[in-house]
Structure 1
Amino acid sequence: MNTKNLRLAVIQMDCEVKNKELNMKRTMKFFDRLEADTDIVCLPEFFSTGYNLDLIGSDYFYLAETVPGETTAALGRKAVEKGFAIIGTIVEKDKRQESVLYDTAFVIDKKGDLKGKYRKYHLYPTEHSYFRPGNDVSVVNLDGMKIGMAICFDHAFPELFRLLALQGAQIIVIPSAVPRGYAYLLDLRTRARAQDNQVFVAAANRVGREGTVEYCGLSKIVDPTGTVLAEASGEEEVISAEIHIDRIAEERKREPVLRSIRQDLLKSVYDATEME
């Protein structure tokens, strides 16, 4: 991977609720469609199981896996075969307490090694019935590239993205399952989080229908100015864009946002939150 320039791809796909075997086969076929020079590919939220909480319910407990586990091992083998890194999101069960579940993203490098994981920090209200929120925010070093992770509803919280940027993230990925009716949030927040922090942001969203829920697609890759480099439709699709990392330094030189942060203001925000 060239740490100055790389090709980032997003797979926007449908999946069948609770059918992990079929969904993994579909995922592997999408990998085979990617351009030969792809360096990193990102999958949507819960690509292997489906997301609909009402349809899946307590079945999440038998669908859950450890990380590392069966799914990460299979994706690791594909990463070696194809020579690109893979970012995905699955239902994770805690190794020590299997009744504890997380919505977890992970990064696998082109050698098939698990480089890091992230447990969804901000759970959507209905998700609290099944998942625990994560407590760690970290940036993964992927062959010299700094990758930050957020998941779906996380995009509503700019503080998370600011923290990732301050920790050195150059690309932040957002695996998502955003339904129709909320497409404006996916569009606005993906561009805003990129421009706010002058980083590249990629949102990998779902399409298709699960019961009464239909997902809106519109996955996108955005540069540090908030400009959309690639955008999907509302159907299954693969999008990609060439990422020029120097654009981050250029934009931060033009407008030094991160260097101008007032620590006293950040403390005031924290203090105000504590008073609520």
Structure 2
Amino acid sequence: MPKIALAQIDTVLGDKQKNLSHIKDYCRKAASNQANIICFPELVTTGYSLDILGTELWTFSELRGGETDQLLSSLSTKFDLTIICGFIERGGSLGEIYNSSGVWVPGGKSWKGTFRKIHLVDSERNWFSSGTNIPVFDTPMCKIGIMICHDAGFPEIARILTLSGADILFLPAAWCIHYKDVWNINCASRALENGIHLVAVNRCGKEEKINFFGDSQLISPRGKPLTSTLGDDEGLVFGYVDFNLQAKTRLELPYLRGRRKDLYNIDHSLIV
């Protein structure tokens, strides 16, 4: 059973070096507790107040081989730890940037791959380009899929990842306290309807006018929390993913097998 470390941390807006040092410390703590996988929140290397960072977002963005990539590649190998971490990914020559989460696995020289947030919300639309791919990543323990924050409100992403072979879903987020009720409903629903473990890792702390509430948790395939939460405090939460439980749940609640694909041919031109 993979042991998962949920790194519920705060960040310092615009101070990448301090944030990377914080990430390094938490990777060390996770490894000392024999974790196999650690997940950090959304945009954890930079902070989330996009309109304040403004055009500095481009400066903070990174290509493969950048400082975040080099550091986490090294830490992943050193600690034999798969790392999932939010950062700003630089695109092509047109200046596009993405709200991304990378995956680093032991022995890799750079990230295994990235998931670029698909469903942008509020000021994200002013700065980021939307992702267009829904990849599943091979790790030493299992196959994983990633959604980022607002993506959790769209059942299609979790379902596509599950049908594509993901064994665990990860949800890095910077979710504000005004929508805490939605956080809990979305996390439970995406896990239950796919019969899959969901690792939901939310930021804590305050950034300008935004309050993040943490409440990171590992959700069972029945939609129930398997870990106690830290509330809105910093810290690590550990939990195990039991694939036997996952298989048993899918037999008891056969949402995947019971799908009526013959009825799902939707003419999207009719949807406003």
* Fold agreement, TM-score > 0.5: yes
Cα distance between partner residues in 2 of 1:135 and 1:78: 29
Residues 169 and 197, structure 2, Cα contact 8 Å, conserved in 1: yes
Deviates more, 1:66-75 or 1:22-31: 66-75
How far 1:130 sits from its partner (Å)? 0.5
Is 1:242 paired with 2:240?
Answer: yes
4+ residue stretches of structure 1 with deviation over 4 A?
none
Match of 2:155 among 138, 153, 158: 158
Match of 2:253 among 252, 255, 258: 255
Identify the residue that residue 233 of structure 1 maps to in structure 2. Answer: 231
Cα distance between partner residues in 1 of 2:192 and 2:271: 30
Match of 2:131 among 129, 134, 137: 134
Cα distance between partner residues in 2 of 1:130 and 1:29: 30
Residues 12 and 236, structure 1, Cα contact 8 Å, conserved in 2: yes
How far 1:73 sits from its partner (Å)? 1.2
Residues 75 and 112, structure 1, Cα contact 8 Å, conserved in 2: no
- With over 3 angstroms needed to count, the CA separation of the structure-2 counterparts of 1:45 and 1:273, relative to structure 1, is farther
SS of the residue 2:183 aligns to:
helix
- With over 3 angstroms needed to count, the CA separation of the structure-2 counterparts of 1:274 and 1:134, relative to structure 1, is farther
- With over 3 angstroms needed to count, the CA separation of the structure-2 counterparts of 1:55 and 1:224, relative to structure 1, is same
Identify the residue that residue 9 of structure 2 maps to in structure 1. Answer: 13
How far 1:266 sits from its partner (Å)? 2.5
SS of the residue 1:235 aligns to:
coil
Cα distance between partner residues in 2 of 1:273 and 1:227: 37
Percent identity over the alignment is 29
Cα distance between partner residues in 1 of 2:251 and 2:39: 29
Cα distance between partner residues in 2 of 1:11 and 1:221: 12
CA RMSD of aligned residues (A): 1.5
Cα distance between partner residues in 1 of 2:158 and 2:235: 26
Cα distance between partner residues in 2 of 1:225 and 1:67: 37
- With over 3 angstroms needed to count, the CA separation of the structure-2 counterparts of 1:51 and 1:194, relative to structure 1, is same
2:90 aligned partner, one-letter code = K
Figure out how many residues of one structure are paired with residues of the other and give that number: 269
SS of the residue 2:24 aligns to:
helix
Q: How does 1:167-178 map to 2 (within 5 A)?
A: 167-178=164-175
TM-score by length of 2: 0.94
